[in-house]
Structure 1
Amino acid sequence: MRELTAVQADDLYELITERAGRSVIMTSNRTPIDWYPLFPNPVVAESLLDRLINNSHQLFMNGASYRPHRRPGRVTDQDTTTTG
């Protein structure tokens, strides 16, 4: 995730504010604390993350990434096995 522009941050803030008290599913490859520097305005960041974090159920998944196994063009053991 990259730093948000002011417009993007405001749009996300507006979306989360309008959804207050209703369900939202968000996924990220960053922990909530890592989101703060992505916002150009720290007040918007604090307000938005406060709304997201305080009433949320968070699932943190640790372990090896599945991405390398699904990468297009990856050579697998099956590709290198010869029959003879």
Structure 2
Amino acid sequence: MTQADDLYEVISRRIAASRSIVITSNRAPQGWYSLFPQPVVAESLLDRLVNMSHQVFMNGPSCRPN
């Protein structure tokens, strides 16, 4: 089983059990498709996440140099 399949399984189980999940990323959800080798897995995973999510987009300078 690939890492993408593992992630799909974890997220699917948490959603089915009505459990919260927090995911942070430096990519917009549309940019995730290229990270998954199987387009069907990517579409299904993102559908589950995006349709039941509260998204917070942060823009501004990086705090890393500080």
TM-score by length of 1: 0.73
Where do 4+ consecutive residues of structure 1 move more than 2 Å? Answer: none
**Structure 1 position 68, deviation (Å):** 1.5
The aligned counterpart of 1:32 is: 29
Corresponding letter in the other structure for 2:10: L
Question: Percent identity between the aligned chains?
Answer: 67
CA RMSD of aligned residues (A): 1.0
Corresponding letter in the other structure for 2:45: L
Q: Distance in 2 between matches of 1:18 and 1:48?
A: 11
- The Cα offsets for residues 7-26 of structure 1, whole Å up to 9 and x where unpaired, read as 10000000001101320011
Residue segments in structure 1 that go unaligned for 5+ positions in a row = 1-5, 70-84
Number of aligned positions between the proteins: 64
